[in-house]
Structure 1
Amino acid sequence: MSTKSNRLREEREKLRISQEEMGAIGGVGRAAQGRYEAGERAPDWEYLERLAQHGVDVHYVITGQRVEAAAALLTAEEAMLVENYRRAAAEGRQAASTVLAALAQQQKK
């Protein structure tokens, strides 16, 4: 049975991001992220909440049970697009939405 720390690393690898990037999402440094993944330290609720807002299946990390939700069904490529969208400034999100809407319209033709 995998441990919470192993499942946390698994979720990070699923998103194809570094420990530094995952730590930044959670509001901690790379060293703290490494300690979480090594099982040397447990993350707090705020950290887990921030990860959940970025597509990490926190329920799985804690319980080992996957949550069947639309976000959990994303491919790695889709998850990265969502992650990049969430990290972008408001202007970048608007530009991305405009471009994707235009591309979708072209696909319908």
Structure 2
Amino acid sequence: MIGERIKSEREKLGFNQVDFAELAGAKRRTLIDWEKGSTAPNAFQLEMLSRQGVDIGYVVTGNRSVNTKRVADIVELIESLLIEHGRNVSPKGKARIIAGLLELEQESQQKVTASNVLPFVTAAGF
């Protein structure tokens, strides 16, 4: 399970095996063993990966961590779009939009930007 999640994080972040292994201070062969589930990274290696944006909570537990900086970026984006288009949305509505956008990012592995958030917000009826 951990191996599958390591591979998922590597692919989500757009790294090949060699570069990702280097982020952890490991060799490609070691990363292959991690991804196959033969071995697992140690605490130092996990810390190194964490510093590069790997969701270590997800790797270890299978539960995604909330990236508060990313949430703040999406809040700013939504606020600016709502102001630009003269729309008003309740806090509960904004929370639903944010949750949907974060889920969309995770599923599609595509970062939410001004160009792709407006269709989502419009489709949600806001």
Pick from 36, 39, 52: which aligns with 1:38? 36
Residue 17 of structure 1: which of 15, 26, 30 is its match? Answer: 15
> TM-score by structure 1 length?
0.63
Structure showing greater radius of gyration is 2
Q: Give unpaired runs (5+ residues) of structure 2.
A: 74-104, 112-126
| SS in structure 1 at match of 2:38 | coil
Deviation at 1:18? Answer: 0.6
TM-score (norm 2): 0.55
Structure 1: any 5+ residue segments left out of the alignment? 79-109
What amino acid maps onto 1:39 in structure 2?
G
Identity %: 32
Q: What does residue 118 of structure 2 align with?
A: none
**Contact kept? 1:57, 1:72, Cα under 8 Å:** no
Contact kept, 8 Å, 1:8 with 1:37, in 2: the verdict is yes
Aligned length: 76
Instruction: Between the two structures, name the one with larger relative contact order (CA 8 Å, sep ≥ 6).
Output: 1
